[in-house]
Homo-oligomer: A and B are copies of this chain.
Amino acid sequence: MFSELPTPCVLIDMNRLDQNLNVMEQRIQKLGSSLRPHVKTHKVVELARRQVRDFAGGITVSTLAEAEHFAQCGFKDITWALPLPQSQIKRALKLSKSIQLNLLIDHPVTLTFLEEELKSCNQSAFVFLKVDCGYGRAGVLPDSNQALLLAQKMHKSPHIEFSGLLTHAGHSYDCRSKDELKGISKQERNSVLRLASRLRQANIPVPCISIGSTPTMSVVQNLDGIDEVRPGNYVFFDRAQVNIGACQLENIAMSVLSTVIGVYPERKEILIDAGGIALSKDEGPGLSKNKYGLVVDVISQKPLYQCDLHALSQEHGKIKYTSEKPPFNIGDRIRILPNHSCMTAAAHHIFFLVRNNSLEGQWTPMKGW
């Protein structure tokens, strides 16, 4: 089977994928919350459908083009997890005529833009207040006055359905152990609960509290008071997640299949046909070896530590080997576990689905903005 596929290509190990979906589902159900998976990692309708079974059915997206695509494919409750760009307001409101599109705001200026547009077209919009739980990317600080003022403004707005609080602990990606991760997951939850309590004391209802990243949701032990969580990367995982402590190497469900196109014993190097476009140039988590992905055996997916994927051109990858003889011949296939599966997925237009080393089908992700 592996010898028939065109390379480079993305393979999805369906056994690992199923296990990843089950583990996350069971964890979140057991902790009494709902899963609103982030589909940005894969952008595949069939996979999103698997992710939302038994749940409310809502998903999270990273671009408005994704929201439009998933809406066309039947998803009716979509959160666009990016602070609403002013330039996209008209387009977003057009989509929100046919589905429940939940928007994010963390700045009064954007709220004013949105309100003006809603007034002029006599519509209403579902809006979350985006909260910064320590990541420092987007959001209002949970203990700030601005948070209270902005929530109040939304609550009072005749055009806005104030949906609640939303945060994302992206700084969990800096963790290097489960204990560190557990600390961040507590901070993520506590920050929004603290703000929710302030809002409720000020008679501002908070219909939904939404948190979640793959790292924090992989270790979280308490979701009391949390209505929904939004991990995304957990479907595939990757080497960065292993490094964080969110999963094991054996959980990584995505790999890139590649062909050996050169063997150079004089410099103990092998050339493969997967380069920066196929793997992304997201460098490994602080690793000097296998900076651009981990070379594994094509069948067993066991790491080949004598190989070091150390350089990428556009369509060439260079592997140094430490064994006496070259570990591969011209024409051999290898698999590479990606550093960051979201970035690698974004580079491919087909995902080949593999179960027990047989091809089970293929998925087509959506692209663009």
Instruction: Say whether A296 faces chain B, with CB atoms less than 8 Å apart.
Output: no
What are some 7 contacts across the A-B interface (CB < 8 A)?
A3-B87, A82-B261, A82-B273, A82-B316, A83-B271, A109-B330, A281-B283
Number of residues of chain A lying within 8 A (CB) of chain B:
60
Which residue on B lies nearest to A83, using beta carbons? Answer: B261
Is A329 positioned at the interface, with any CB of B under 8 Å from its CB? yes
Query: B residues within 8 A CB of A276?
Result: 280, 282, 343
Is A305 interfacial (CB-CB < 8 Å)? Answer: no
Which of A4-12, A20-28, A351-359 sits within the interface? A4-12
A248 at the interface (CB under 8 A from B): no
- Copy tally for this chain in the complex stands at 2
- Contact assessment for B343 and A367 in the assembled complex, using a CB-CB cutoff below 8 Å: no
- Do A86 and B259 touch (CB < 8 A)? yes
Which residues of B have CB within 8 Å of A85? 7, 259, 261, 273, 331
> Closest CB-CB distance, A282 to chain B, in whole Å?
5
Check A119 for interface membership: any CB of B closer than 8 A. no
Return chain B residues, CB-CB under 8 Å to A113.
Answer: 330-331
Q: Is A281 in contact with B315, judged by CB distance below 8 angstroms?
A: no
For A29, what are the chain B residues with a Cβ–Cβ distance below 8 Å?
Answer: none
- A8 proximity list for chain B (CB < 8 A): 369
One of B259, B273, B315, B342 near A40 (C-beta < 8 A): B315
Q: Which 9 A-B pairs have the closest CB atoms?
A: A86-B331, A83-B261, A109-B330, A62-B315, A85-B259, A281-B282, A277-B346, A85-B261, A83-B262
How distant is the Cα of A44 from the Cα of B315 in the complex, in angstroms?
Answer: 17
B259, A318: Cβ atoms under 8 Å? Answer: no
In angstroms, how far is the closest chain B Cβ from the Cβ of A53? 25
In the complex, what distance in Å separates the CA atom of A84 from the CA atom of B260? 10
User: Which residue in B84, B87, B136, B315 is a CB contact (below 8 Å) of A7?
Assistant: B87
Say yes or no: A262-B138 contact (C-beta < 8 A), given A9-B369, A82-B273, A281-B282: yes
Whether the pair A330, B282 counts as a contact (CB closer than 8 A) is no
Q: Which A residues, 45 to 75, have Cβ-Cβ distances below 8 Å to chain B?
A: 62-63
Chain B residues with Cβ below 8 Å from A208 are none
